[in-house]
Amino acid sequence: MIVRDAGALLTRVSTIMTPIIIVPGLGGSGDTHWQTYLQRSLPNATLVQQDDWERPELTRWLVRLATEAEIRPHAILVAHSLGCPLVAHLALRCPDLSIKGALLVAPADIDSGNNGSEKMRSFVPMPARHLPFRSIVVASTNDPYIKIERASDLAGIWGAEFVNIGPAGHINIEAGFGPWAAGRELVKSLIASSDIRRQNRKMRKS
């Protein structure tokens, strides 16, 4: 019992201490978006702020995200929609940043040429390289901004785990996603797996 309680305590401490960087997509995340609820529920979470959420420009958005990742090393990135390609670009262009992992929810298919992708032109093409950290892609079967097959393909390209949550739209406010317990659990799983890898590295060195 004591051992179990100690393990639960260590998990809780790690969840509290690990930096979480919330990465919204086009339009940002409103007050009732699951990303906002996640930010409020985790004391070490911060949300990347962009100057103009309606006019995304890759270079400017990337600088903001890279700055947050640099001052908050070993963070878990939690991205939605256009935030997912942004994370992929970050991994490609800033490989020296120390990132624990990434949760990539409902990635916007910027290469499709549909669904308002004109606004996302500067993000094209989608980076097609394995991410250097553990990642999880979460997708829906009826997302208007990406087909489930394309989301699965991206997960494979990025070397990410793939989670199909069924018909859930764009996994946003319009689809009914306010507080999202399953999303929080996925974040905790990324934290836990990173802690295990770190402990294994310490054991190999000792």
pLDDT in tens, the chain (206 residues): 444 554 443 344 456 689 999 999 999 999 999 999 999 999 899 999 999 999 999 999 999 999 999 999 999 999 999 999 999 999 999 999 999 999 999 999 999 877 666 789 999 999 999 999 999 999 999 999 999 999 999 999 999 999 999 999 999 999 999 999 999 999 999 999 865 555 444 444 55
**Domain boundaries, position 122:** 2-205
| Nearest partner of 61 among 23, 96, 30, judged by Cα | 23
Number of domains in the chain: 1
β-strand pairing of 75-80 with 20-23: parallel
CATH assignment of the domain containing 60:
3.40.50.1820
pLDDT of the residue at 1: 43
Distance in angstroms (rounded) separating the CA atoms of residues 55 and 92: 22
pLDDT of the residue at 17: 86
pLDDT of the residue at 195: 52
